[in-house]
């Protein structure tokens, strides 16, 4: 049976083509046209399924989709979806962990190296005609021998640990929901510590926890003050984990030495955000899992789950 799938996010045409290439034969993909919320909602009218990346889904969207049978997230961050409204309609919501781990882990290592090697400064100055062959040596560092602290040691935190171990980094982690160390941790010499010890000992603190009420702004002034003044913060998880004004102050006052950020409290970042003017910060626009490899893997998993639902089989990674 053919089904109508609405992609409830705006994307480029080449992204839509990747999505279509992974769809079951006969299914129809609706991509949003127009520039208004009302116009987009009108296109939900015939949706059997909705795929969402990072847009909100509210009761208003659900009211506009009378035929909707299931919502499938292409990632894992579902804080902007009205789950109570879904429950009231009996519409399931499923997540898609597939296609995220490798991209985020690689991007975490990328940001660490970019901050440590002052990559953005070196590139920008070179383009301006300034040759900093010697100018960055006293403020550039190597990952080898440094202590990498991981706040969260799930699939992504472990993937970062595996990669950092290849750089000969010392690995610590704190995860209050992990009741026993994963078998691989010993192979990476990864050691579980308290949150306070993680803050005090880490040269690099990398965040890998979900956005919840418990983790909201769990990195704020008291936490930054416990870190080494030479430490850097890496966030490829969720922007709400970090108290951004407190981070800005910590960077301005040199309470910590730098940061690499892929996520922010408000996205897109406003032009007046002080982070944009700091040369000890490397910023990327929420792209850690934004590769074509990840997108293909995600869509394969997404459509496999929708087909399970259509066939009356249990779906995977169900939230509602």
Positions marked active-site: 238, 267, 286
Q: Evaluate whether 287 touches 10 at the Cβ level (below 8 Å).
A: no
Give me the residues paired with residue 49 across strands. 5, 70
3-state secondary structure of 165: helix
Residue corresponding to tokens 């407190």: 246
Sheet order of strands, 49-52 included: 28-31, 4-7, 49-52, 70-73, 93-94
Residue corresponding to tokens 């459509």: 303
Q: 245 in the Ramachandran plot: left (φ > 0), alpha (ψ -120 to 50) or beta?
A: alpha
Comparing CA positions, the residue from 319, 290, 315 lying closest to residue 301 is: 315
Question: How many Cβ atoms sit within 10 Å of the Cβ of residue 273?
Answer: 16
Question: How many Cβ atoms sit within 10 Å of the Cβ of residue 294?
Answer: 20
Query: How far is Cα 7 from Cα 50, in angstroms, rounded to an integer?
Result: 6
């Amino acid at each position: 049976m053919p089904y109508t799938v609405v992609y409830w996010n705006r994307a480029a045409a080449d992204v839509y083509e990747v999505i279509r290439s992974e769809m079951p034969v006969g299914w129809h993909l609706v991509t949003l046209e127009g520039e208004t919320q009302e116009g987009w909602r009108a296109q939900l009218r015939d949706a059997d399924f909705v795929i969402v990346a990072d847009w909100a889904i509210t009761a208003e969207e659900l009211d506009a989709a009378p035929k909707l049978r299931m919502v499938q997230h292409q990632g894992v961050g579902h804080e902007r979806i009205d789950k109570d409204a879904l429950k009231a309609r009996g519409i399931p919501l499923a997540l898609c962990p597939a296609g995220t781990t490798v991209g985020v882990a690689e991007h975490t290592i990328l940001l660490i190296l970019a901050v440590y090697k002052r990559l953005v400064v070196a590139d920008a100055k070179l383009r301006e005609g300034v040759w900093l062959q010697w100018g960055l040596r006293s403020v550039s560092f190597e990952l080898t021998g440094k202590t990498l602290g991981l706040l969260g040691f799930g699939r992504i935190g472990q993937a970062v640990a595996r990669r950092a171990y290849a750089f000969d980094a010392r690995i610590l982690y704190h995860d209050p929901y992990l009741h026993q160390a994963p078998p691989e941790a010993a192979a990476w010499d990864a050691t579980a510590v308290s949150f306070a010890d993680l803050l005090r000992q880490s040269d690099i603190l990398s965040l890998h926890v979900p956005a919840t009420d418990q983790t909201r702004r769990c990195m704020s002034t008291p936490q930054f003050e416990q870190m080494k003044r030479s430490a850097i913060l890496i966030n490829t998880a969720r922007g709400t984990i970090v108290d951004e004004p407190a981070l800005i102050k910590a960077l301005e006052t040199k309470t910590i030495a730098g940061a690499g950020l892929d996520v922010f409290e408000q996205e897109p970042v406003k032009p007046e955000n002080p982070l944009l003017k700091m040369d000890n910060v490397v910023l990327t626009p929420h792209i850690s899992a934004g590769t074509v490899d990840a997108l293909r893997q995600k869509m394969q998993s997404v459509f496999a789950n929708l087909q399970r639902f259509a066939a009356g089989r249990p779906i995977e990674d169900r939230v509602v």
